[in-house]
């Protein structure tokens, strides 16, 4: 990466697009604190992440950012509920409270019956949705997603993008998403085009996600109202996953 310079305002839906190997995933790893830049800085609310002490950085990242990576990075020896609870535990929560919040999230997308399964025993689409829920357990204000629809068929892919769109439009969450799919760029309020580790163009677009922000409605209420029944159908024969 070189010469990257951009600002994401609260409530934006940002898509990062570009060919394989151009640095999109590396950029996401830096934004999430998994990799440290050799130069420059990353600020959240005016705070330079990489000038914080390690414990402060981890707490800031885990309370402010939810990350859905291209590879789910499961702890294979742990159950689904233990995996989904990890980000909440990193904020200092008790295991019982983390499990309670995790089960509540799993239930709204019809996945609570898999709580005690090992992640690797589930289908690719189920793992993808659980990874999505794990990114939300701390109720973050910023959501990072690296190719969240990569392993999904068209029906499941549409649901996933609609989930992000509603979190952005109805709850005001900032979304930064990497995608290879040009059709998804229509959802973005800003598109960052990358090539060879550089930003080639930044394009502002007309917002298409719903824009009725409700500070009173939380994530669980939003999903119950809009997506619960749809998500449960994804595990029936009506929706067959590609991978």
Tens-digit pLDDT string for the chain (243 aa):
888 889 999 999 999 999 988 999 999 999 988 899 888 899 988 889 899 898 888 888 888 899 888 777 899 899 999 999 988 888 888 999 999 989 988 887 788 899 999 999 988 878 888 888 898 888 889 999 998 887 777 777 777 888 888 888 888 889 999 998 888 888 899 999 999 999 999 999 887 776 665 655 667 777 766 665 555 555 543 333 333
Q: Give CA–CA dist 19/23, Å, rounded.
A: 9
Instruction: List domains and CATH numbers for the chain.
Output: 13-74+141-233 (3.40.50.300)
Q: Give CA–CA dist 90/82, Å, rounded.
A: 12
Most distant pair of Cα atoms in the chain: their distance: 50
Burial of 58 (0-12, 13-18, 19+ CB in 10 A): middle
pTM to 2 decimal places: 0.83
The angle at the Cα of 223, spanning 221 to 227, to the nearest 5 degrees, equals 145
> Which pLDDT value is given to residue 237?
38
Distance of CA 27 to the CA centre of its chain: 14
CA distances from 88 to 33, 34, 51, 61 (A): 17, 17, 23, 11
Contact 189, 13 (CB under 8 A): yes
190: enclosing H helix or E strand: strand 190-195
Contact 192, 163 (CB under 8 A): no
> Which pLDDT value is given to residue 228?
58
SS3 203: strand
Closest CA to 145 of 177, 175, 118: 177
Q: Give CA–CA dist 180/134, Å, rounded.
A: 23
Q: Give CA–CA dist 229/233, Å, rounded.
A: 7
> Which pLDDT value is given to residue 215?
56
> Which pLDDT value is given to residue 227?
62
> Which pLDDT value is given to residue 206?
81
CA distances from 157 to 81, 101, 129 (A): 23, 25, 10
Q: Give CA–CA dist 148/22, Å, rounded.
A: 18
Looking up tokens 């609870």 gives 85
């Amino acid at each position: 990466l070189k010469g990257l310079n951009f600002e994401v305002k609260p409530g934006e839906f940002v898509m990062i697009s570009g060919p394989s190997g151009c640095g999109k995933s590396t950029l996401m790893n830096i934004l999430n604190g998994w990799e440290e830049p050799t130069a420059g800085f990353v600020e959240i609310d005016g705070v330079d992440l990489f000038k914080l002490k390690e414990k402060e950085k981890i707490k800031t990242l885990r309370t402010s950012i939810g990350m859905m990576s291209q590879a789910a990075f499961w702890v294979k020896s742990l159950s689904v509920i233990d995996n989904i609870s990890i980000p909440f535990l990193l904020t200092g929560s008790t295991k019982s409270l983390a499990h309670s919040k995790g089960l509540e999230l799993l239930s709204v997308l019809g996945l609570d019956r898999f709580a005690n399964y090992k992640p690797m025993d589930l289908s690719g689409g189920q793992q993808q949705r659980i990874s999505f829920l794990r990114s939300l357990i701390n109720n973050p204000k910023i959501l990072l997603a690296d190719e969240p629809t990569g392993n999904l068929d068209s029906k499941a892919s549409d649901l996933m993008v609609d989930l992000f769109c509603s979190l952005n439009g109805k709850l005001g969450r900032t979304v930064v998403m990497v995608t290879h799919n040009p059709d998804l760029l229509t959802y973005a309020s800003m598109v960052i085009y990358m090539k060879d580790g550089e930003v080639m163009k930044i394009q502002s677009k007309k917002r298409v996600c719903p824009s009725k922000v409700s500070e009173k409605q939380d994530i669980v209420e939003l999903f119950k109202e809009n997506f619960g029944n749809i998500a449960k159908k994804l595990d029936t024969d009506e929706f067959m996953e590609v991978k």
